[in-house]
Structure 1
């Protein structure tokens, strides 16, 4: 699966590596046999031949030692000392040759361990000699000390005989078996020499003699059956020699003499005379056989190496040719694919988005010019290029159609949103009339609910307008206090009763940004209320800062994950292209578009109370100091009408010495009240401040026809009966309560009479207004 997903270069490289590995394996299989044969030759000359010399000297020293122990002479005599010198010399040659670098390189792991084991065992020879010279060992124990060293040498020979060539390995094992039989003959020679020097066999020595005699004869016959013809002829010559026949005769005489303590029928001189020629000729047979074995291995190794050079050389040439062809072909292929890839990237990254954007702006697009054909030749890559030409033409055509379709859908959505917005405005006007003439509290409450739903419907319609890339038609020519802007946003939120409004300060928002800021805050507050538990409150606060005005919306919900916060902030700061298929988080998209329009910064961050805090930073160009601050609790002074303020046109960059401040609006000589000290709960929906209407064409009404708006201590507007009626329909009876009077000084009867008069006047005014509207409707019909 990984190779399937790899690049073309990686696949070709893997193919070449596989080819080289296959050639290397074949070459090694051919070379290994020759290397093994050459290595066997190196091991034979460096370890086997020196060990054979050491073995022969060790056998002679063992015979002299046992013979000396059987006699009465003091150890060591001159003959034994001379032999020990020869043995030590052979041991030194073996240690130097077997540990050479060539032998270590040619020997495998098991053979190296056997060589080290034999050398380590041979180091105990000096200690064994001292023990023998001190007289603490008898003949059998002394022979065993030498036998241990000899056995370690034969274990090394067995490891040498394990070659890959089965025929040569078999012949080598045969020669090792003959050599081991010769060792048993040497042990027999030492045993008999010691017994003759002592003057006779013990029962145990006689039994061991018989066993060794039979064992070396059987071993020789068994091994000789596997000799090659040339070696077999040499063995038969040895077996029929006069020395061997005499040896067998003497052995038979000693075997038949079973009496213990009786002088043997053979003297030491007779025994030496028959055994030494027989053993010498057998050792020569073994050495000659080993030499012939090595001679047979060398031509085979040379032949193997010759075949390797021939086959491996031709294979290497083929591999090199394959590599060159693959590399050149791959480069051409990759060049064509790179050209095709670059064309695809150019289409997807540059041409296609450019065509879609131009079509979105309503420009005409020439597909023949925008989609030039690419020439890749007539091979398979060229055929792919031709198919790609067709694909890119089709892609740009479809993209053009889709862009035109999206523009049409956007225009349809904008048209529907505008119609819906107009209908909602008319609905709000009708609801306002119905609210003014309704006197039943329950019915009035339901009308207020309908009024609130209509305001929210208007916000949804404006969402469609924003998503369509246009601007809602609600605009203000005059600045609006910030607290009224936030209250207008609360009026467009369903669960507005859960919102706590903190003091906002004496700041006004310029008229051109009022509608969009109300919409933006409504979306954010709606989101905070929706994603927090119903038993929690959402707090809205605001204050002036160095860079403008900050509004914070904090909920007490479950909050958002850090990665979700980062994604939301990224979506607000850099919104992606709006697609009709995407319906998730449309509110954030609307917020981002409204914020970008006025360079407003909106950031979401974790709240220390567990929820989420939204920080809205309005730039200095959108806010000004309010010359008519909010009336406080207990302050019955009328709120002054807002005056249009000019936005500062010349600003200086903020520095450590000079921080840009807000330009106040034209001041009015009214004493500033004390700022609000506590939060304000919104008990009833407050309709957002409507855009200032255009100046009327008819003569404006007199001062008596322009009643001044009153506000509650918390800043909510009071409805004034007959304020919007025609002059002829107004009741002369004053219905506006005197705010200067103290309600605590009135009697219950005065209050009841006042409220009854207010209710009667309101009912009469609304009835007359309804009649007037009906007449106007009938006249228009």
Structure 2
């Protein structure tokens, strides 16, 4: 083969080698970036969002109880508002920060910015409530929209990396959503108990909420380990099921079926607390399981990027040396006649 032909083949092989290494480096680096981004999001935004949602849930219930009972904001409601404000301040810290690990999560930051903008209007809702300008339905709708915007922050970026961590993250979010459905049900029933009435529209809404909440909770719990699934079938949950069934069997529109505020509060608080513990435990376990995997992935990425690059450069350098030797050669190798002895050409 002539020198130009050899050079062309070496260049083609070098291009193929560089392309394969670049593709492997991209895939491995993307996996690492996705995993680290999910972990960073959970640490910097996931926990503040969870606390904010809990604060909004408590404030929503106490607000509608106050309206239903025709009372004014009491100490419990004032404390709930302060708790919500502290959680909102944590979310604002994220939107004002510049975490380099989250440069690829612009969509998450945009949704968090939208949440902060909506939270800025919370003071208006509170003022109208205190002035008696809002009814229960409008108050509930206002708080529901805020919680929906908070949950919207959890986008596909939280589960982009297809791993156990991503699956665990989706389970945590599903549990939190199931808890929100129960919190909305709690708000509706608590308001009815405070006002000693339950109209047909509220009863229809309750039926829908109970159905959706049970389904969502069942789907989320099914993804938990066996021992945690058994916890979700314990006494707090069975007590709540009994009360929900009693409410659904009540024939008179304006009655709450003999259920007391104390009985309802004990049952629903038990389930809300249990769901929050499941969310917290699932999030903690996912981080613990992901830590060794993250370390291994970083090591593998370093091997592909570092050792792989060294190997590619070594091969390319050896080929470059071969090309230089060919270029400096005196010409094509001598050809011996057919049938001549191996050393004949040299003897001449």
User: What TM-score results when the alignment is normalised by the length of structure 2?
Assistant: 0.85
Larger helix proportion of the pair: 2
Tell me, in whole angstroms, the C-alpha distance in 1 between the residues paired with 2:117 and 2:22: 39
Query: Could you give the per-residue CA deviations for residues 628-655 of structure 1, whole angstroms, max 9, x where no partner exists?
Result: xxxxxxxxxxxxxxxxxxxxxxxxxxxx
Deviation of the 1:46 alpha carbon? 0.7
How far 1:219 moved relative to its partner?
1.5
Does the 8 A contact of 2:64 with 2:140 survive in 1? yes
Structure 2 residue 80 is the aligned partner of structure 1 residue 83: yes
In the aligned structure 1, how far is the partner of 2:325 from the partner of 2:119? 69
Q: Hey, what does 1:46 align to over in structure 2?
A: 44
In the alignment, which residue of structure 2 is the partner of 1:73? 71
- Residues 190, 261 of structure 2: 8 Å contact kept: yes
In structure 1, the residue corresponding to 2:99 is in which secondary structure?
helix
Report if the CA contact (8 A) 1:71-1:198 is conserved. yes
Structure-1 residue corresponding to 2:232: 238
Describe the shift of the 1:81–1:294 C-alpha distance in structure 2 as closer, same or farther (beyond 3 A): same
CA contact (8 A) 1:62 1:146 kept: yes
Query: Corresponding residue for 1:27?
Result: 25
Match in the other structure for 2:171: 174
Show CA shifts across 1:333-369 (max 9, x none). Answer: 44x3xxxxxxxxxxxxxxxxxxxxxxxxxxxxxxxxx
Which consecutive unaligned segments of at least 5 residues does structure 1 have?
A: 1-5, 337-375, 385-781
Structure 2: runs of 5 or more not aligned: 336-348
| CA deviations over 1:242-261 (Å, ceiling 9, x no partner) | 22222222222222223133
Distance 1:83 1:108, change over 3 A: same
Mapping for residues 45-444 of structure 1, pairs under 5 Å? 45-74=43-72, 76-102=73-99, 105=102, 107-225=104-222, 227-228=223-224, 230=225, 232-240=226-234, 242-262=235-255, 264-334=257-327, 336=328, 376-377=329-330, 380=332
How far, CA to CA, are the matches of 1:332 and 1:274 in structure 2? 85
Quick one: distance in 1 between partners of 2:334 and 2:139? 92
Conservation of the 8 A alpha-carbon contact between 1:178 and 1:224: yes
Inter-partner Cα distance in structure 1 for 2:149 and 2:229: 26
Contact 2:24 2:304 in 1 (8 A): no
Equivalent-residue separation in structure 1 for 2:264 and 2:157 (angstroms): 34
> Contact (CA 8 Å) 1:57, 1:87: kept in 2 or not?
yes
The aligned runs of 1:521-600 (5 Å cut-off) are none
Report SS of the residue matched to 1:58.
helix
Cα distance in 1 for partners of 2:107, 2:36 equals: 18
* Residues 364-411 of structure 1, C-alpha deviations (whole Å, 9 max, x = no match): xxxxxxxxxxxx53x63x669xxxxxxxxxxxxxxxxxxxxxxxxxxx
Asked if the contact 1:158/1:173 (under 8 Å) is kept, the reply is: no
Distance 2:283 2:95 in 1: 18
Distance (Å, rounded) in 2 between the aligned partners of 1:96 and 1:254: 43
Give the Å deviation of 1:210.
2.0
Q: Note closer, same or farther for the CA distance 1:103–1:131 as it changes in structure 2 (3 Å cut).
A: farther
Q: Is the 8 A contact 2:221 2:232 kept in 1?
A: no
Within 2, Cα distance between the matches of 1:198 and 1:41?
Answer: 45
In the alignment, which residue of structure 1 is the partner of 2:346? Answer: none
2:344 equivalent in structure 1: none
Report the count of equivalent residues.
Answer: 332
Please, which moves more after superposition, 42-51 or 306-315? 306-315
RMSD after superposition: 2.8
Q: Greater CA radius of gyration, 1 or 2?
A: 1
Larger strand share, 1 or 2: 1
Instruction: Quote the offset at 1:289 in angstroms.
Output: 0.8
Q: CA deviation at 1:198?
A: 1.1
TM-score (norm 1): 0.40
How many Å apart are 1:70 and its aligned residue? 0.5
- 1:161 aligns to what SS in structure 2? helix
In structure 2, distance between residues paired with 1:59 and 1:120: 19
| Structure-1 residue corresponding to 2:341 | none
- Counterparts of 1:199 and 1:157 in 2: how far apart (Å)? 37
Cα offset, 1:54, TM superposition: 0.8
